[in-house]
Amino acid sequence: MVSRCAELTEEIRNVEGELDALVTLMTPALLAVHGVGLLTAAKLIGETADVHRFKSKDAYARPGGTAPLPVWSRNRNRHRLSRTGNRQINACLHRIAITQARSHEGARALLQRRRENGDSKSESIRILKRRLSDVVFRALLLDAVAESAATELSAA
């Protein structure tokens, strides 16, 4: 059993090495986003499929579950996250948001500002996730454009 665990560990390391090479080559802009690691970037690439199928950052937010939905409660206009869409993209955005909430000054300032304006912790995180959805979309788009330009240059 111990030898099987050692074999599997070695296999995992080999796959991670291959994945690292591919993801680093395909999406350098996405990996540059604070809080996006190798596995999160790979998951976003796989779940997004082709970023060009979304016409805008707002269209990307809908399947990611970060497009706000209006909720009326106690005569107060609020928004909540959609429970529809691709939960894997939403989970990636949540991991990035939590990482940034702990260690990114801009995200911490946004959360603090929203809390001072009366938003709850979950509402503040929702807003951060929506902004991160835009950042991820722009990074994926930038990487896709760079990849297509490189493909055209190599073909010519």
DSSP 129-144: HHHHHHHHHHHHHHHH
Taking the CB of residue 71, how many other CB atoms lie within 10 A of it?
10
Q: What residue ranges do the domains of the chain occupy?
A: 27-155
pLDDT at position 155: 75
pLDDT at position 156: 67
pLDDT at position 5: 96
pLDDT at position 73: 66
Residue 134 near residue 117 (C-beta atoms within 8 A): no
Closest CA to 123 of 97, 88, 144, 156: 97
pLDDT at position 67: 83
pLDDT at position 123: 87
Chain segment 120-141, per-residue pLDDT in tens: 898 899 899 999 999 999 999 9
pLDDT at position 70: 77
Task: Pick out the chain residues at pLDDT < 50.
Answer: none
Amino acid type, 1: M
Residue 79 near residue 99 (C-beta atoms within 8 A): no
Cα–Cα dist 131/148, whole Å: 26
